């Protein structure tokens, strides 16, 4: 399956596919403070084929080791042919320094199925009833042997 990438920023890097996983890298140096949220402009325009979506998610090792998370879910649909902007959050305890070419996310192509929306009128909404709570003075205790 072919997916198209174009540059809107000369510093952008066209990714290379690795076993169905497409690395997304930062085109410019960035500093992200602890707790700060940014929108990363990748400089790339993506052309997704009809019948597919491109999902963007956190790069696992960056998330675990540095605390950089892709806020999501983030998807690109076939009709979304504009610059790929990825919302990032530094969930770590310190400042993150991102260097040009550093991988910050991964993208994967997923096939979608056509969906037909069907409407119906429910007979009567069901109300879920909660069981009454035990009083705090209940002598029941768990024991582990």
Going edge to edge, which strands form the sheet with 83-90?
Answer: 4-7, 37-47, 83-90, 68-70
Look at residue 30 and tell me if it is in a domain.
yes
Look at residue 94 and tell me if it is in a domain.
yes
The answer to whether the predicted template modeling score (pTM) of the entire model surpasses 0.85 is no
Which tokens sit at 96? 């993150």
Strand pairing of 30-32 and 96-98?
antiparallel
- Structural domain of residue 36, as residue ranges? 4-111
Look at residue 133 and tell me if it is in a domain.
no
Q: What is the pLDDT of residue 19?
A: 67
- List the pLDDT tens digit at each of the 145 positions of the chain: 777 777 787 777 777 766 678 889 999 999 999 999 999 999 999 999 999 999 999 988 888 888 999 998 888 998 888 899 999 999 999 999 999 999 999 999 999 998 899 988 878 777 777 777 766 666 666 666 6
Look at residue 28 and tell me if it is in a domain.
yes
Look at residue 118 and tell me if it is in a domain.
no
Tokens 């990438």 sit on residue: 5
Q: What is the pLDDT of residue 51?
A: 92
Domain tally, the chain: 1
Residues 6+ apart with CB under 8 A from 121: none
Q: What is the CATH number of the domain that holds 63?
A: 2.70.40.10
Report how far residue 110's alpha carbon sits from residue 112's, in angstroms, rounded to the nearest whole number: 6
Are 67 and 30 in contact by the 8 Å Cβ rule? The answer is no
Report how far residue 86's alpha carbon sits from residue 29's, in angstroms, rounded to the nearest whole number: 15
């Amino acid at each position: 399956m072919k997916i198209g990438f174009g540059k809107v920023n000369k510093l952008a890097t066209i990714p290379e596919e690795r076993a169905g996983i497409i690395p997304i890298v930062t085109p410019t140096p960035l500093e992200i403070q602890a707790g700060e949220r940014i929108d990363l402009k990748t400089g790339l325009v993506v052309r997704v084929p009809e019948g597919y979506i491109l999902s963007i998610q956190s790069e696992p090792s960056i998330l675990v080791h540095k605390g950089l998370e892709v806020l999501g879910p983030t998807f690109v649909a076939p009709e979304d042919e504009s610059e790929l902007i990825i919302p990032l959050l530094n969930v770590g305890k310190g400042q993150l320094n991102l260097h040009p070419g550093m991988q910050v996310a991964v993208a994967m192509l997923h096939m979608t199925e056509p969906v037909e929306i069907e409407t119906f009128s429910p007979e009567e909404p069901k109300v879920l009833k909660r069981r009454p709570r035990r009083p705090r003075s209940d002598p029941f205790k768990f024991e582990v042997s």
